[in-house]
Amino acid sequence: ITLSVEVFGPERDLHSGNEGGVLNEPMTDLVRILSSLLDSDNNVLVPGFYDGVDFEKVKKKIAVFESLKDSIDMDKYAQSLGLDSVSDNSRSFAELLSKKWLIPTLSIVEIRSGDGDQAEDRASQHHYCFGPTKFSVIPHKVVGQVSIRFVASQDPHKLVKAVEAHIQGAFAKLKSSNKVRVAVHNIGDAWEGDERHKMYEAAANAMKACWGDTPLYTYEGGTMPVTSTLEKVLKAPALLLPMGQSTDNPHLANERIRSVNLFQGKNVMRTLIEEVAGVLQTQKSENLRFDLSV
């Protein structure tokens, strides 16, 4: 889910040295609204945000994740993010993985002044964009971009309504003369594969044959909407088979794929097709035996 929170008031940008202190500034209001969405432990404070999450399932998965402790180096993971650590020592290794893989999240991904469209902002006479005095300008309109990762058991439309209600409530508490608007840009479907399906077994065999190691079943928050759509349209189970590394910078600057992964990925796909053919042949034989017995 992607949405933006817009706060606007004055007709045009104002000089902070001349007008500061006499009005509710849109940027200040926006920062207060966005700060009401999360606490310091990254728990989302929106009432109803976690509705639909099967926490009993999460607890069971946390127990399973403990077995991965020797397979995933969290210190190296932190280094890959440019951090000293991803833990405050109050959460276990498995709890951190559950935060990353199983629990819905809300991220504030951008804050900007203007209408949210930089090309329109440059053409606008009401919004000041350039010049040495930009640090003394009160923007007349500001936009915060929010990205939400939810899980397959949740209703995304109910989730959006809950977030909108919270934002409107948080803004009302400010008693500001400005106005707020929430714009929803995208609502995709969450998706979760079934690792018990025979195709997953075929994929695991292909990965092990090419890489010499047993693959891990993980959870991520990208490419889910199109995967769900493919399943619905084709009426067939989907399988996500990554080829790259966790450090490939997806959607970021210097996005890449290592040549070894690219060529090994080709080998995995070829082996997977052979494995799937074997699965289909086995199913055909089983169906034939069933028909003969009947």
pLDDT in tens, 57-89: 888 888 888 887 777 777 887 887 888 887 665
- Residue 148's DSSP bridge partners are 106
Dump pLDDT digits (tens) for 143-184.
Answer: 999 999 999 889 999 999 999 999 999 999 999 999 999 999
The structure's pTM equals: 0.80
- For residues 9 and 24, the answer to whether their CB atoms sit within 8 Å is yes
Q: How far apart are CA 135 and CA 119, in angstroms?
A: 20
Counting DSSP H helices and E strands in the chain, the numbers are: 10, 6
- For 38, phi and psi rounded to 5 degrees? -135, 150
Percentage of the chain with pLDDT > 70?
86
Strand runs labelled E in the chain:
2-8, 14-15, 105-113, 137-138, 141-149, 179-186
Domains of the chain: 2-53+104-186 (3.30.70.360), 198-293 (1.10.150.900)
Task: For residue 203, give every residue at least 6 positions away whose Cβ sits within 8 Å of its Cβ, in sequence order, or none.
Answer: 215, 239, 241, 272, 275
CA geometry: angle at 65 spanning 62 and 68, to 5°? Answer: 165
